[in-house]
Structure 1
Amino acid sequence: MLSVFDRGPPPPCPAPFNLAAHVLGRAKELADKVALSVLGTEGAEDWTYARLEAAVRGTGTGLRRAGLAPGQIVLMRLGNTVDFPVTYLGCIAAGLVPVPTSSQLTEAETARIIDELQPAAVLRDPDVACAAHPRQIGLDELEAMRALPPCDWALGDPNRLAYVVYTSGTSGSPRAVAHAHRAIWARRMMVDGWYGLTENDRLCHAGAFNWTYTLGTGLMDPWTVGATALIPAPGTEISALPGLLRQYEATIFAAAPGVYRKILKDHAKLDLPALRHGLCAGEKLSRHLHEAWRAATGTELYEAYGMSECSTFISASPSHPARGDALGRPQKGRRVAIIGEDGQPVAQGQEGTIAVHRDDPGLMLGYLNAPDEMQARMRGDWFLTGDQGAMAADGQVFYLGRADDMMNAGGYRVSPVEVETALASHPGIDQVGAAEVRVKEDASIIVAFYTGPAPLDEADLKAYVAGKLARYKQPRAFVHLPALPTGANGKLLRRALPAYFGNPPS
């Protein structure tokens, strides 16, 4: 049998359609229910569904009155506050195309994005770094828009462009990933296929408002089913999370593996009587961490696999737990295969590249300004993820590692080429290679290996990259080598670099 999971497509997305209207489709029915609680140790700021919908649609009205037209791209440079999701959905409600970005990006990084996308406006918190743009709408102006009359939902073809997110590609240049309005419809398959989410749940996501993982799993998906989203207040320490989970009776907890790891470092046992289970994504979950969480809480962790180009499509869930070290299986309605070097599905149990069908409603429209790049990743009807895996006879998928050299920093995928490019201009560096190095069983860091006349001061190197790369992309260690490892063709062997960490050649 071939490694293909195909049990029929999901129901078609309705038309006309609007992503934001779908997310808030139950707002009228649940007007007085708490949609969002921003959690603090001394209290919570609550947003009812009525308040949330009014703020989103008022923002849509304000953006249209500001002269922005449906279809125009707007760059979001906002911080870790509720302003982020309200503005994001307000843009989509009005038919604009928001580009949410990490507040950690530097001015230089945003300059490249502005040059590439030519946005009609930048929606900006003045405390968040951003390159110059002639049309900037400030945070005060955005907050004032919430009191305006509600905009009409900008309905249309579910396949039209809704939003853009950035991801790093193997070439080292971040890619602008274009998604359709139907992407939110695809996430319905995650409700049972990963979350086990119901209207009665209180889902707490440990991430910041301005992380796409939080935006989807922590906010939009709970709102779509009428549940309550719980988000820790900005600046909340990870050490405070167990207390908040207990105090606010979270029933589901979602985080990257690194958060679970830090919590368990300080807590061998956790008393969380309301918690049903945890959700994990962003990087591979180790068996050690999984077992430690189960022992500490008596609850399960359910892992999921996805990417910027396609919403999570392989996962474990309460109704279909993972077997052994498997990720889980494709969600009902997904078409997934393991593709060999010949572009065809391999036999069950054999290694190949994890791929998702071109008709998946969660798959991107393509890369903006680089239409050929998506086609280059297609093999017939299959979009190649670039990650290796194997599929068992029951559909369970086992993750076997990245097919490229992409690194993972706390759940963010980071291109080594981007890091190398930032360091290559340093006057004391001749050559540089970046790699992910495992420093503990459950922890990895980005390390830069370089050659040059002499070892350089590490503090100086850290300061040098601070102005060029977002915090999560910056190397945590630097290793001076007499030469970088290369293959017979002279190309850098990045996978050989981690062996030199802590054991440089004499």
Structure 2
Amino acid sequence: MNQSYPSWLKQRAELTPGRLAIKTDEVDLTFWELYQRVQLQIKQLVALNVKKGEHVGVLMKNSVEMIESIHAIFSIGAVAVLLNNRLTRKEIAWQLSDVQAKHLICHEEFLFQVDEEINVIIVEKLHKKSSLETDYLMEGYKTDQVATIMYTSGTTGHPKGVMQTFGNHWSSSIGSALNLGINSDDRWLLSVPLFHISGLSILFRSVIYGIGIVLFERFNAEKMNRAIMEDGVTIVSVVTTMLNQMLDKLGNEKYPETFRCMLAGGGPVPRGVLEKAIERKIPVFQTYGMTETASQIVTLSPEYSIKKLGSAGKPLFSCQMKIMKDGEDCSAYQEGEILVKGPNITKGYWKRDEATQKAFTEGWFHTGDQGYIDEDGFLFVLDRRSDLIISGGENVYPAEIENVLLSHQAVVDAGVIGIDDEKWGQVPYAFIVSNRTISHDQLLMYCQNNLARYKVPKGITFLDELPRNASNKLLRRKLKEFLK
């Protein structure tokens, strides 16, 4: 059954118009004020020929304007394509072309990353007033209607557009609410990027729950702690590196008792960090999720954070999980692939029918991640898609970097692995075989021109040949032996 929803923002503005929607350093907006501002932007986008059903790229930084743009795109009935503003011009151009975007809404500072062949709407140049006095009739939503598309790197090195429906986002919000609970005075501190599912999911929860967002353009540990202390923040979404920095800056201070949840994703939180959090009575909820699951799908409650150290927890309500190996269900502690099922899982990849079919078996989504479940049903993730590098919460696939290196005329073979890094958790490191003289710095410069900054290798080692097996598969585990 394809259920219908009214516009979430419109209904929230009617239900609780005076509640705080967004708080920034510059402005505080109620849901009614946000609704009025979105109404204005809708009229401006319609005047600029943005139409129902079209794909609209969004290349923006965390801001009130970005939130307004996303809501406006939904209200017109278009699809928001969230673009990582750290990508290069080539990467952004490829994604916009692949997704067949008709328009791009962006902040002026990102214009240098934009190809001229698309209708570019610079948000700073939109008029702040409209001559149209009547409200625009906001489009409602269907459960299976695609709301957003986010690109995620694939193991082949080519990113895939993950289609997320309104039903996916609704189910994710409700599953999280049933796990964490909702208080009318909750405030969610948002400093993770809105172009990531971790950030975008908070936007949906805000309007569905009727709770405020304290919005930061970027992460700053001192400002985060101050917001928790002074701005009534009760929930924060972080990755381990963020949490660690916040604990260091906190010193001997403690958060107020009203603070109730530190939601930690992007990999297991190390024991030392957890112990520091427990000393300060900070409740850390560890999670496991991905773009394809519209945010978290498994969460570990704080009462198990030490008892089940390293676990991501159990599935959210209405979601299921199992471990499989060679087509058979695994028993407790048997390692295999993590499969998940539930209403928050993507309907598939944009224009990638083969990849979509391969990803599902009888409704179960193959995450490609390896893990096991203990005797109590708690998930332990062993490898995020086996070769995946998680650097500061960003997913980096070695194959994508290898493809760029191999596109250089001096490189005949390339291999990339993740190495430990104190600041970012992991960073990529490359090994190459060259057929001519080229310097380490020249190759790094080439990578910088073709890859987002966080994907650029920290270093490069030159080898005579890379370790491969009889079927010519690269043996990444052996590459670590060549590190000096």
Structure 1 length-normalised TM? 0.87
Q: Which amino acid aligns with 2:427?
A: I
| Alignment correspondent of 2:18 | 32
In structure 1, what is the equivalent of residue 163 of structure 2?
178
In the alignment, the residues of structure 2 paired with residue 472 and residue 82 of structure 1 have an alpha-carbon distance, to the nearest angstrom, of 26
CA deviation digits over 1:260-306, x for unaligned, max 9? Answer: 122334444332224223111123322222222222x2112101111
- Residues 146 and 412 of structure 1: is their aligned pair in 2 closer, same or farther, counting only changes over 3 Å? farther
Match of 1:22 among 5, 8, 15: 8
**Cα deviation, residue 429, structure 1:** 3.1
The corresponding residue for 2:225 is: 242
Aligned to 1:371: 353
Give the structure 1 partner of residue 30 of structure 2. Answer: 48
Q: In the alignment, residue 283 of structure 1 is paired with which amino acid? A: G
Change (3 A) 1:280 1:162: same
Count the aligned residue pairs. Answer: 478
User: Which of 477, 481, 484 is equivalent to 1:499?
Assistant: 481
Higher helix share: 2
1:261 matched to 2:244: yes
- Which of 307, 314, 332 aligns to 1:329? It is 314
What are the residue-to-residue correspondences of 1:90-489 with 2, within 5 Å? 90-128=72-110, 129-142=113-126, 144=128, 149-217=134-202, 219-232=203-216, 234=217, 237-273=220-256, 274-295=258-279, 297-311=280-294, 312-317=296-301, 323-342=308-327, 344-357=328-341, 360-440=342-422, 443-452=425-434, 457-489=439-471
Q: Which amino acid aligns with 1:109?
A: E
Following superposition, the deviation at residue 459 of structure 1 comes to 4.1
Residue 66 of structure 2 aligns with an amino acid whose one-letter code is: F
Relative to 1, partners in 2 of residues 1:489 and 1:98: Cα closer, same or farther, differing over 3 Å? same
Distance 1:195 1:147, change over 3 A: farther
Greater shift, 110-119 or 305-314, is seen at: 110-119
Question: Do 1:57 and 1:146's aligned partners in 2 also have CA atoms closer than 8 Å?
Answer: no
Q: Could you tell me whether the CA contact under 8 Å between 2:149 and 2:163 is conserved in 1?
A: yes
Runs of 5+ consecutive residues of structure 1 not aligned to the other structure:
1-11
- Cα 1:87–1:146, aligned 2, differ >3 Å: closer, same or farther? farther
Write the distance in 1 (CA, Å) between the matches of 2:218 and 2:331.
Answer: 49
| Distance in 2, Cα, partners of 1:58 & 1:135 | 20
Deviation at 1:319, TM superposition (A): 8.0
By how many angstroms is 1:67 displaced?
2.2
State how far apart, in whole Å, the 1-side matches of 2:390 and 2:88 are.
19
CA distance in 2: counterparts of 1:406 and 1:475, whole angstroms: 14
The alpha-carbon distance between structure 1 residues 242 and 155, as it changes in their structure 2 partners (threshold 3 A), is: closer
* Equivalent-residue separation in structure 2 for 1:214 and 1:441 (angstroms): 21
Q: Any idea what the Cα deviations from partners look like across 1:377-409, whole Å, max 9, x if unmatched?
A: 222331110111222343321212234312212
1:66 paired with 2:52, answer no
* Unaligned stretches of 5+ residues in structure 2: none
| Partner SS for 1:309 | helix
Secondary structure of the structure 2 residue equivalent to 1:122: strand
Cα shift at 1:147: 8.4
1:4-19 equivalent positions in 2, closer than 5 A: 15-17=3-5
With over 3 angstroms needed to count, the CA separation of the structure-2 counterparts of 1:64 and 1:426, relative to structure 1, is same
Moved more, 243-252 or 166-175: 243-252
* TM-aligned CA distance change 1:433 to 1:67, over 3 Å: same
Give CA deviations for 1:412-438 in whole Å, capped at 9, x if unaligned.
212111111112233443322111112
CA distance in 2, matches of 1:146, 1:272: 44
Secondary structure of 2:108's counterpart equals coil
Structure-2 separation of matches of 1:235 and 1:347 = 43
Provide the C-alpha distance between the structure 2 equivalents of 1:479 and 1:454, rounded to a whole number of angstroms: 15
CA contact (8 A) 1:111 1:132 kept: no
**Alpha-carbon spacing, 1:457–1:198, altered in 2? closer, same or farther (3 Å):** farther
Deviation at 1:314, TM superposition (A): 0.6
**Distance in 2 separating the partners of 1:316 and 1:150:** 44
RMSD of aligned Cα (Å): 2.6
Paired letter, 2:316: Q
CA contact (8 A) 2:269 2:310 kept: no
1:124 is displaced (CA, Å) by 2.2
Structure 1 residue 208, shift from structure 2 partner:
3.4
The answer (yes or no) to whether the contact 1:242–1:270 under 8 Å persists in 2 is: no
Identify if the C-alpha distance between structure 1 residues 449 and 239 changes in structure 2 by more than 3 Å, giving closer, same or farther: farther
Cα distance in 2, alignment partners of residues 34 and 320 from structure 1: 33
Distance in 2 (CA, whole Å) between partners of 1:131 and 1:266 is 41
Q: Matches of 2:478 and 2:174 in 1, distance apart? A: 39
Conserved in 1, the CA contact under 8 Å of 2:198 and 2:237?
no
For 1:332 and 1:132, the matched residues in 2 are separated by 45
Check whether the contact 2:162–2:349 (CA below 8 A) recurs between aligned residues: yes
Distance in 1 of aligned mates of 2:136 and 2:266: 35
Relative to structure 1, the CA distance from residue 49 to residue 345 in structure 2 (aligned partners, 3 Å threshold; closer, same or farther) is same
Whose RCO is larger (CA < 8 A, sep 6+)?
Answer: 1
TM-score where L is the length of structure 2:
0.91
